[in-house]
Chains A and B, each alone.
Chain A
Amino acid sequence: MEALRHYFRLHRNNCVDAVARIIRQPFASSLTILVIAIALALPAGLRVAVNNADAVSESWQGAADFTVYLKLDVTTDAARRTARTIEARDDVAAVALVDRDAALAEFRAKSGFGEALDALDANPLPHALVVRPESGVAADVEALASAIGKLPEADVVQVDTAWVARLRAMLALAGRLVDFATVVLGLAVTIVVGNTIRLEINSRSVEIEVTKLVGGTDGFIRRPFLYLGFCYGLAGALVAALVVALGLLLLDAPVRAVAALYGSGFALRGLSLIETGVLLAGGALLGWAGAGLAAARHLRAIEPK
């Protein structure tokens, strides 16, 4: 019990000491922390960007819908029957009929071509069916569209999902690239912390030597440096989280404005609680690892003479 208390007291002291050391050299420490923060903010920010693009493309899931323009001579009753026929298919989730008269009225009201339309003898618009397929997979949608296109009432089928599929594929690629950047920049954090700890070990060689002389174990000597690396990593991750939050704050208003133009209520999503946790834990862990590598490499070299 006493041994456990002693152990925790040592760890607490190491932790307090590490923070004190960082504060005591504000300039050098903030440079190190900033470098770590940049290396962490980059993948974190890219991750947020990809997440948001994913969210946007998801709201376009409706783009798998396609439009079937019926022949001009199809009556309203025939159009309703066709709609029911199509809706009965297993691979169709929903069918909406756009009545040609309603469509014309809407077009007249919204397009500003009202007078030009008056010059026409008859309604030039056909009945249209908006079909929502059960499956969003491009191949399934294509198959369904071509099947419906063969119906005698159908004139033109307009599928417009290819670009959504392409966008999704590119987002998946971007996600992979962010993963790669995360690994590379994580390695950079380890190296930056490792180098900082190496310098710290060199500047504290007398302390290390004396501690070894009075019986300090490798673990006892290593621990303050591990805590220092841990604190550097954690501080860098905190600053990175702030940088990402600040960036989102600056982009929020313009993004809302653009979304409003497209009639969307889309708003930027920041790092979730879990993602923030992963960022902080990851930063601290990388700092710890960097310090561990430096300690393993350089502490042994300092022996009493």
Chain B
Amino acid sequence: MIRFENVSKRYPNGREALSGVSFNMERGDFVFLTGPSGAGKSTLLKLIALIERPTRGTVLVNNQNLARISRRRIPAFRQRLGVVFQDHKLLYDRSVFDNVALPLVIAGASRRETEKRVRAALDQVGLRGRESHAPITLSTGEQQRVGIARAVAPRPDVLIADEPTGNLDPELSLEIMELFTRFNEVGVTLLIATHDLELIERLPHRRLKLVGGQMSGDKKRGRA
């Protein structure tokens, strides 16, 4: 589902964020991407979301070579990819409903379909009934869950998340991870970047470890 072949990324300032990274994820995998800050986790996720392009190597998502996706086709690609950000990236001048509905509106879902899916997504993240609230009135954990609801509302095949529990206390973090596990159970492929080792020790998923831009570990555990 996600395949990196000898991928390197050097930024214009000369810093090499990734060097020669290769790995493969099958459909339905749940993988943690770990490593210290600055190890290249965010860069790796940005390559998947086509926010950045690799300097060398090949990235395949759903058997599609991302190098072949022109700038014009990036929106269509992103519509099939769920992305969760550490800083939520919510729009604070809109209601929770409008935030979660955004990708559905972009994709051209009917009003009824949009309402149904937004409610379902908010229900899944435990925010049923908060549709009309302003995001700013919610706690950080709740805002993160709105961000997750937005990512899963269009029912993407692949969900990537960059430090989704970065600002949350351990209890909330575990809740979020349980949420991701439930998505994984219905077939969503997940790649979650986190440096919260304590948290992922408690979960039985495969771990990829990046150090200094290189793949330094690939632990397959549990059902892999």
Using a CB–CB distance below 8 Å, which chain A residues touch chain B? Answer: 2-3, 5-7, 9-10, 206-207, 209-218, 220, 303-305
Contacts and interface: CB of A to CB of B under 8 A. Distances in A.
B105 interface: yes
15 contacts: A5-B110, A6-B108, A211-B102, A212-B75, A213-B49, A213-B51, A213-B78, A213-B83, A214-B103, A215-B75, A215-B81, A215-B103, A217-B75, A218-B75, A303-B51
A6 B107 CA distance: 10
B214 interface: no
A219 to B, nearest CB: 9
Q: What bracket does the count of chain B residues touching chain A fall in?
A: 20 to 34
A210 to B, nearest CB: 5
A302 to B, nearest CB: 12
Given A3-B108, A206-B89, A218-B75, 11 more contacts: A10-B105, A206-B91, A209-B89, A211-B106, A212-B78, A214-B103, A215-B75, A215-B78, A215-B79, A216-B75, A216-B102
A203 to B, nearest CB: 11
Interface in B88-142: 89-91, 93, 102-103, 105-111
Contacts of A2: 110
Given A3-B108, A215-B78, A210 B51 contact: no
Given A2-B110, A5-B110, A210 B103 contact: no
B143 to A, nearest CB: 13
B208 to A, nearest CB: 23
Interface of B: 49, 51, 72, 75-81, 83, 85, 89-91, 93, 102-103, 105-111, 150
Nearest to B72: A218
Given A9-B111, A304-B51, A305-B51, A215 B89 contact: no
A25 to B, nearest CB: 13
A5 B78 CA distance: 24
